[in-house]
């Protein structure tokens, strides 16, 4: 299951980040690392971006970025 599949109010634990290279590094620098608990706060009307709460702060991610993040 990916972060994109979660609905507002649901949460999951990050298992892995599928992206490689600078995009993966950027996502990890924002605090999205394996083991972190992430909760979906809201999704924009057209599905892009997705607002999540991770490590005590709100973060907006594009749908393509959220699709690369595996959660359980």
Domain spanning 3-71: CATH 2.30.30.90: yes
Distance CA 31, CA 15 (A): 13
Domain ranges of the chain: 3-71
Burial of residue 18 (CB within 10 Å: 0-12, 13-18, 19+) is exposed
- Across 4-31, average pLDDT: 89
**Residue 18 banded pLDDT, cuts 50, 70, 90:** confident
pTM score of the predicted model: 0.83
For 19-68, write each residue's pLDDT tens digit. Answer: 788 888 988 898 899 999 999 999 998 878 999 999 999 999 999 889 99
Nearest to 11 by CA among 68, 50, 64: 50
Distance CA 51, CA 41 (A): 6
């Amino acid at each position: 299951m990916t972060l994109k599949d979660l609905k507002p109010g649901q949460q999951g634990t990050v298992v892995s980040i599928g992206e490689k290279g600078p995009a993966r590094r950027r996502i990890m620098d924002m605090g999205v690392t394996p083991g972190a608990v992430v909760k979906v706060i809201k999704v924009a009307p057209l599905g892009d971006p997705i607002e999540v709460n991770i490590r005590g702060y709100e973060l907006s991610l594009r749908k393509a970025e959220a699709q690369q993040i595996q959660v359980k």
